[in-house]
Amino acid sequence: FMSNTSSFSHGGAIGNYGSLRITNSKFMSNTAYANGGSIDMGGIVTVTNSTFVSNTAGYRGGGINSYGGTLTIVGSSFINNTGNMYGGGVASDASLTTARDTTFSDNHSPNNGGGLENSGALTLTNSTLSTNTVGVGGRGGGVYNDPSGKLIIDSSTLVDNSAPGGFGGGIYNVGQLTLNAATLAGNAVSAGLGGGIYDEISGTAAITNSTFYHNFGGMAGGGILAVGAVTVTNSTFYSNTAGGLNGGNSGKPLKLKNSIVVNNSAYNCNGTITSLGHNLESADTCAFAAIGDLHDVVNPQLDPLANNGGPTLTDALLLGSPAIDAGTNSGYPLTDQRGVARPQDGDGNGTAVCDIGAYEAMPTYRVYLPSVMR
């Protein structure tokens, strides 16, 4: 489907309000004056092993726009699409949208949701959002989740997305967000707020087993800027930066448990941070003072972001890291970001205790060779 233009304003290539299956197809350079540069839908649509390249919608959904219905996307790519108001790659208010093993890259919206815009129920699994953008002052370079949106991101990567002068380089959330086993790296808001995530006042977010690395918040919140209610469990914030208030986390009702916040600049934390215990900080700006909290840890012994197994990159705990076996076995996730079972006896003292952060260190065994006498 190539270089089609909708004369009815919706669905540059296809308008579907019944049932549709698309497999091994390519949609390129299609245009809709309003919604759905390639596909505008309201029924049941399944897209498998297909590619959407350089499609444009005047309003919503450069690649696909969904009003109601259900949308399933498997093993597909959305590249360089544009939604001129919302959702460069996909805009969805479907009752259920699922996307797995799918890539969204170089998509753009001048306003909200460079890669994705969600106002329905959307689950993203084993997928990547990279180098998606919004215009100056826009929201959600990677994803925009609006007030009615229920967004789940699992085992996925958001890297190098940007919202210059705006909010939420990786994610802008004003609805309900669940983030699990995800990596946010290199996302940025130059002269804006929330390099990794900006959580608006009515937004709620539950973040577990996730890594925030080298994100940049121009004014504040290199990793997360939370105005709404955000709870973080067993996650790692490493080497995020902000030109103003902080590099790691900035928030009002921002709660952390079993998490690492180290080597961020200018500060690890700013604002009202509540410790739920067993957090580790490389300075003393987060005011961690609950049971098991560690602060002023000069050398947290973390590796830079790397492939340590599992679907996403992680910061490994090096041998002897003070985060090993320093968490709590109460209310911890049963696996780490890679899918490794928790807890492990990482320090080899005979007792398995959950580690602090997104990575669970495996036991190190010593091997003794028999002596040989001649």
Is residue 354 within 8 Å of 327, Cβ to Cβ? yes
Query: Which residue type occupies 153?
Result: I
Is residue 357 within 8 Å of 260, Cβ to Cβ? yes
pTM higher than the cut 0.85: yes
The pLDDT assigned to 5 comes to: 54
The pLDDT assigned to 17 comes to: 86
Per-residue pLDDT of the chain (374 residues; tens, 9 = 90+): 554 554 456 778 898 889 999 999 999 999 999 999 999 999 999 999 999 999 999 999 999 999 889 999 999 999 999 999 999 999 999 989 999 999 999 999 999 999 999 999 999 999 999 999 999 999 999 999 999 999 999 999 999 999 999 999 999 999 999 999 999 999 999 989 999 999 999 999 999 999 999 999 999 999 999 999 999 999 999 999 998 767 777 777 799 999 999 999 989 998 889 999 999 999 999 999 999 999 999 999 999 999 999 999 999 999 999 999 999 999 999 999 999 999 999 999 999 999 999 999 998 754 444 545 55
The pLDDT assigned to 1 comes to: 54
The pLDDT assigned to 346 comes to: 96
Tokens representing residue 167 in the block: 């909010």
Q: In what order do the strands lie in the sheet with 108-109?
A: 5-6, 31-32, 56-57, 82-83, 108-109, 133-134
The set of residues, in sequence order, having a beta carbon less than 8 Å from that of 73 and lying 6+ positions away, is 47, 48, 64, 90, 97, 98, 99, 100, 102
The pLDDT assigned to 81 comes to: 98
- For β-strands 116-118 and 143-145, DSSP reports them as parallel
Q: What is the pLDDT of residues 50-94, one digit of tens each?
A: 999 999 999 999 999 998 899 999 999 999 999 999 999 999 999
Is residue 36 within 8 Å of 65, Cβ to Cβ? yes
